[in-house]
Structure 1
Amino acid sequence: MSPTAPPTVVIVPGLRDHVPDHWQTILADRIADARTVSPLTSGRLSCGAQVTALNEVLSDIAGPVVVVAHSAGVMTVAHWARRHRRPIAGALLATPPDFDTPLPEGYPTPEALRENGWLPVPRTTLPFPGIVAASTDDPLADFDRVAELARAWGSRLVDLGPVGHLNPASGHGEWPRAQELVRELGRIPSEASVRRPA
């Protein structure tokens, strides 16, 4: 593949089912040759299973990759990066949840998250450029906590304003800015997988 070939976009959803009006689904439909990590039919809460599913998709791609993760998918990427060394051009990490703080009712408890391998959350510098897109009123994470994660990962923080969890439940379907941020990450050479300072 030519060094100037556009990167393959890999969509990493959270723990949700397939949602047609989610911005990740819309983005995948609009980007040629985008790949999506399919929702697991069993063991969905297993961090190890989620990491394996992501790695299987990435292992099937020969050229540069830009990862686009949302919610728990961001945590999947962070755990994947700790275990694997495949070069990544960059990652858009949208509205990561704060797994270190109890989530609202109806979401996994800290005990369940720990038992399934999500805790502790990796806090080392990611071996690829990242953009953390954070909401100021996300019910799953305080903005300042997400800013701390971005600093720990060596990623650039983008303040999205009050967009909830950036999903249909918070009134957000299409997210045009995602394409802008993906294009920005895609201009970074795939060789730029050197660790960045925190």
Structure 2
Amino acid sequence: MTTLIIPGYRGSEKGHWQQQWLADDDAARLVEQEDWENPVLSQWLHVLEAAISETPGAILVAHSLGCVLVAHLASRPSAAHVAGAVLVAPADAERMAVQDPKFRSFAPLPRHDFSFPSIVAASRDDPYMSINKARALAETWGSGFVDMRHAGHINVASGFGTWPEGYILADSMRRQNEPFRTRRAA
């Protein structure tokens, strides 16, 4: 089962756990945006939907603004081809849009149940979203929730290079979706 790696704003820098994942997992593919510096929701969605159409039944592993991208995808027809999602350190696009207009297309944050299983992993000291808001969104989205305690933005700056727990979370999505793979094969 393919894993689609979905970075956020500015992509995933060298040493980021997403980059390590791509190096470790032959079945992982990067969803490469044309412009990491100027996020436009419609353009980013187009790229993500194209990747999903090439790899139906994939597990999505998103970080930061990439989590918000997946949340917007969840209400679109292509969401039917997603087996599950691991959303790590979601960014508060609403707050970011107030601070910088380049994030306006990602706001407001979607508030609807996802049509695929998902897990949100969030930190109590993430500068980009409060733990309470992350927990509330997880509940709204119908996602499981993992409290990463004091893990910052779960990136290189907060000490996350290789992140074995991420593989465990993605594997839980794969196990949940055995019926999805059977259905796809039929």
TM-score range, shorter chain: 0.7 to 0.9
Match of 2:109 in 1: 121
SS across alignment from 1:187: helix
Match of 1:84 in 2: 77
Give the Å deviation of 1:35. 1.0
Residues in 2 aligned to 1:141 and 1:69: alpha-carbon distance in whole angstroms: 15
Match of 2:32 in 1: 38
TM-score (norm 2): 0.88
Give the Å deviation of 1:19. 1.7
Match of 1:71 in 2: 64
Amino acid at match of 1:66: I
SS across alignment from 2:67: helix
SS across alignment from 1:10: strand
Say whether the 8 Å CA contact 2:2–2:29 is kept in structure 1: yes
Residues in 1 aligned to 2:36 and 2:88: alpha-carbon distance in whole angstroms: 24
CA deviation map 1:92-114 (0-9, x unaligned): 0000011223x4xxx87264422
Structure 1, unaligned runs of 5 or more: 1-6, 193-198
Give the Å deviation of 1:183. 0.7
Residues in 1 aligned to 2:3 and 2:92: alpha-carbon distance in whole angstroms: 25
CA deviation map 1:41-64 (0-9, x unaligned): 3773101111111111111114x2
CA deviation map 1:57-87 (0-9, x unaligned): 111114x211100000001111112223332
SS across alignment from 2:38: coil
RMSD: 2.0
Structure 2, unaligned runs of 5 or more: 181-186
Residues in 1 aligned to 2:52 and 2:152: alpha-carbon distance in whole angstroms: 29
Percent of aligned positions that are identical: 34
Residues in 2 aligned to 1:139 and 1:159: alpha-carbon distance in whole angstroms: 15
Residues in 1 aligned to 2:31 and 2:20: alpha-carbon distance in whole angstroms: 14
Amino acid at match of 2:94: D
Amino acid at match of 1:170: S
SS across alignment from 2:91: coil
Alignment of 1:97 with 2:91, yes or no, is yes
Q: Which of 147, 161, 165 is the matching residue for 1:159?
A: 147
Residues in 1 aligned to 2:121 and 2:37: alpha-carbon distance in whole angstroms: 27
TM-score (norm 1): 0.83
Say whether the 8 Å CA contact 2:52–2:81 is kept in structure 1: no
SS across alignment from 1:69: strand
Match of 2:176 in 1: 188
- Larger relative helix fraction: 2
Say whether the 8 Å CA contact 1:11–1:34 is kept in structure 2: yes
Say whether the 8 Å CA contact 1:96–1:146 is kept in structure 2: yes
